Amino acid sequence: MTSPVKAPHEAPSLDPSDWDGYRRAAHELLDACIDHLEGVRERPWRPWPADAGSRLALGPADEPVDIESVAREMVEHVLPFGSGNTHPAFFGWVQGTGNAAALLAEIVAGTMNSNCGGRDHGAVYVERDVVRWCREAFGLPDEASGVLVSGTSQATIIALAVARQRALGASSRRAGIHGGPRLTLYAGRHVHSSVAKAAELLGLGSDALRLLPLGAGGGMDLAALAEQVELDSGDGCAPFCVVATAGSVDQGAFDDLRALAAFCAERSLWFHVDGAFGAWLRLADDPWSRLTDGIERADSIALDFHKWMAVQYDCGLVLVREERLHREAFATRPAYLTSQRAGLGGGEPWFCDYGTELSRGFRALKVWSTLRAFGRRQLGASISGNCRLAGYLAELVSAAPDLELAAPVVSNVCCFGAAAALGSHAQRSAWNESVVAALQLAGRAVFSTTVVDGVTVARAAITNHRTRAHDIEDAVAGFRARLGAVRRGGAGA
């Protein structure tokens, strides 16, 4: 008997029609990726070739191309053109190198395709374990909560939203931030730009972020902080938060976290730590590890795995000392997300209640595989090694008559350039800038630049587990050779 109900026309699924062909292409692709990684020392940044766009252009992308060809296109036309941050002579900005264990995790996570917004499944348990590990590493209590996010910029928004909510009360989620006194927050002048962005997004405005001068040790001037908080309180503002910098992006400097923790406790201010890369000095040897003393007293911490922990992009974390406040700021459960007592729809707490994202990928596995494969000890050794190399770079610079340090090295950042005696501010700025660009274009070394005391200088932030002492020596030799050339060429004169 035929059913009176007729099944609809079925479109093909997106699975490969030829699994054997797919398997072969996938194995070839994996081999190409491993070859690439093994030979990464020969693969510095290369500019994107002029004709690459036409080779890869999607156009309207109406018709299918077989997956095997797509695999070959990616290997031939995309893989060679990374930003070079995997290369051992890459020291620009603050960028991580990735690692071989997390690469494998990306394949597994991509296969599982878990949605980690919530519910009861394996990926969520892995993320909880990662959060637990971090909570313990930074000395936060068992009640602290956390969630993996795209990076410190996003983690900062979440942390400051919790701080704002604590200042205004739970009703502010409905009522908004209108009507009350102006909320103000405080940071040293070296604070990362993501904090001002967060203040803008949270409706506080970037003027609410009071930027304080730095003291002798390179951290926020505490007397100036106390004075500004007094002044604002007297002016009818409502100071609510201090953002401590644990590793400034510019010079790798640290605020005095212990002193700031005490200051915040005394005045009932939220103590947030931006430890994007610097927080990981917690895993390093002394004296660097001591720079993070006091982080265990934070109300919230924002940090990255994709910089100094060598986890593939993108991955950051926000930790919040009081889970209740974290949840209060973000939890929302419409009917279609009601939790079940049993089954896949259970598994409280759900990560979507700790941030703005509902659907979330399985970032935790690449962190888990990194921690598992290398352990706290090896990761800490790599971080300490980077600080030693920054010190070595500073020594080489100091020993070279044509170079000078632009700032003392505190952790892993070294800023330097042409010696002051060689030319004016403007000349040296132009030379330093052109040498940095020349070294990048030659594939020799990647420094970025910053401005210290009005001079554009080269800046190395060493967060690279592949860098050896000879890479530093070679980069300095390259810098000096090109500096000589631009000076003789009269560039910037």
Q: Which DSSP category does 12 fall into?
A: P
Q: What 3-state DSSP class applies to 187?
A: strand
Query: What is the closest distance, in whole angstroms, from the C-beta atom of residue 287 to ligand PLP in the complex?
Result: 20
Query: What is the closest distance, in whole angstroms, from the C-beta atom of residue 370 to ligand PLP in the complex?
Result: 16
Candidate segments 149-157, 217-225, 258-266, 465-473, binder of ligand PLP by CB under 6 A: 149-157
Query: ω before 80 within 30° of 0 (cis)?
Result: no
Say whether residue 95 binds ligand PLP (CB under 6 A): no
Q: What residues numbered 156-185 form the site for ligand PLP, per CB under 6 A? A: none
Candidate segments 27-35, 148-156, 280-288, 445-453, binder of ligand PLP by CB under 6 A: 148-156
At position 484, the amino acid (one-letter code) is: G
Candidate segments 24-32, 33-41, 72-80, 271-279, binder of ligand PLP by CB under 6 A: 271-279
Q: How many residues bind ligand PLP (CB under 6 A)?
A: 13
152-218-309-113 Cα dihedral, nearest 10 degrees? 0
> Cβ closer to ligand PLP: 45 or 277?
277
At position 151, the amino acid (one-letter code) is: G
With CB under 6 A as the contact rule, the residue among 152, 300, 370, 412 that binds ligand PLP is 152
Query: ω before 250 within 30° of 0 (cis)?
Result: no
Question: What is the Cα–Cα distance from 155 to 198, expressed in whole angstroms?
Answer: 10
Say whether residue 96 binds ligand PLP (CB under 6 A): no
> Cβ closer to ligand PLP: 152 or 427?
152
What are the tokens at 441? 């274009």
Helices (H), 400-424: none
With CB under 6 A as the contact rule, the residue among 106, 232, 256, 274 that binds ligand PLP is 274
With CB under 6 A as the contact rule, the residue among 186, 270, 277, 350 that binds ligand PLP is 277
Say whether residue 321 binds ligand PLP (CB under 6 A): no
Q: What 3-state DSSP class applies to 457?
A: strand
Say whether residue 151 binds ligand PLP (CB under 6 A): yes
Q: Pairing state of beta strands 413-418 and 455-461?
A: antiparallel
- Could you tell me how far CA 50 lies from the centroid of its own chain? 30
Say whether residue 194 binds ligand PLP (CB under 6 A): yes
What are the tokens at 428? 């040296």
Say whether residue 94 binds ligand PLP (CB under 6 A): yes
Query: What is the closest distance, in whole angstroms, from the C-beta atom of residue 468 to ligand PLP in the complex?
Result: 24
With CB under 6 A as the contact rule, the residue among 97, 114, 145, 153 that binds ligand PLP is 153
Candidate segments 41-49, 270-278, 368-376, 419-427, binder of ligand PLP by CB under 6 A: 270-278
Answer whether 328's CB lies under 8 Å from 170's CB: yes
Say whether residue 192 binds ligand PLP (CB under 6 A): yes
With CB under 6 A as the contact rule, the residue among 276, 295, 393, 472 that binds ligand PLP is 276
Candidate segments 55-63, 167-175, 272-280, 333-341, binder of ligand PLP by CB under 6 A: 272-280
Query: What is the closest distance, in whole angstroms, from the C-beta atom of residue 71 to ligand PLP in the complex?
Result: 30
Say whether residue 304 binds ligand PLP (CB under 6 A): yes
CB burial of 350-384 (b: ≥16 within 10 Å; e: otherwise) equals bbbbbbebeebbbbbbbbbbbbeebeeeebbbbbb
Say whether residue 249 binds ligand PLP (CB under 6 A): yes
Question: What is the Cα–Cα distance from 90 to 418, expressed in whole angstroms?
Answer: 20
Q: What is the DSSP string of 136-175?
A: HHTT--TT-EEEEES-HHHHHHHHHHHHHHHHH-TTHHHH
Q: What 3-state DSSP class applies to 456?
A: strand
Beta strands in 263-321 (DSSP E): 270-274, 300-304, 316-320
Q: What residues numbered 218-247 form the site for ligand PLP, per CB under 6 A? A: 247
Question: What is the Cα–Cα distance from 149 to 132, expressed in whole angstroms?
Answer: 15
Answer whether 264's CB lies under 8 Å from 227's CB: no
Say whether residue 386 binds ligand PLP (CB under 6 A): no
> Which residue's CB comes closest to ligand PLP?
151
Q: Pairing state of beta strands 316-320 and 413-418?
A: unpaired
Say whether residue 462 binds ligand PLP (CB under 6 A): no
> Cβ closer to ligand PLP: 152 or 449?
152
> Cβ closer to ligand PLP: 256 or 274?
274
Interface with ligand PLP by CB under 6 A: which residues? 94, 151-153, 192, 194, 247, 249, 274, 276-277, 304, 316
